[in-house]
Amino acid sequence: MTNDNERTSILKDYYLEIEKIAELHSQNITLPPVENLPEDILFYLRIEMVAQTKLVEKRIIEIFEQRRNEVIDYLQVRVEETSNNIQRAKYNHILFILTKDNTYCQKVINFYKKALELAFSETQKEFYQLFVDDIFKVIIELSYKIKFKMSELKTQIKSFLTDNGKCRVANALHHTPTHAKV
């Protein structure tokens, strides 16, 4: 059995590892040894592991519907604790799926946009560059789903696509034969 200090330490160490994640679907997280961990810690770790995968609405609902309110409470705290915009977006995405509250969806879009801004900053270019396409896909999908900032989104995408070298999407479109469907 673990005491309160060990429990806190296990989660804090895990949170520090999550804070470094710059990818949308990470599988590079080391779980702490789960033997003898209390149920609540295992539950929190499960929420965190799901947040690191591709977020599929049906799957999220199946996994968390029975403890929906606990997940919502936990993620609302985690959104405030982390400074990682991708993690904030992912936590809000799960909150949106579980609550259907468009406010969470708007936060997802805004946090992913902040992550994109960081991705294109000179200091972080190498760090985020590989995940820009995935982030764009989620932003576009959710923006259309709730009709949020559509004209701003179109302007931003056009800007990213016309600034050569910014993302693989732009490079792919730039080098696509004229007869190919895009």
Four-CA torsion 81, 82, 83, 88, nearest 10 degrees: -120
Q: Higher pLDDT residue, 104 or 1? A: 104
Confidence of residue 163 (pLDDT cuts 50, 70, 90): low
Q: Does the pLDDT at position 158 exceed 90?
A: no
Q: Under 8 Å CB-to-CB from 93, ≥6 apart: which residues?
A: 55, 104, 105, 108, 138, 142
Say if pTM beats, i.e. exceeds, 0.85. Answer: no
Mean pLDDT of the residues in the chain:
77
Between 116 and 165, where is the model more confident? 116
> Looking at residue 134, what is its pLDDT?
75
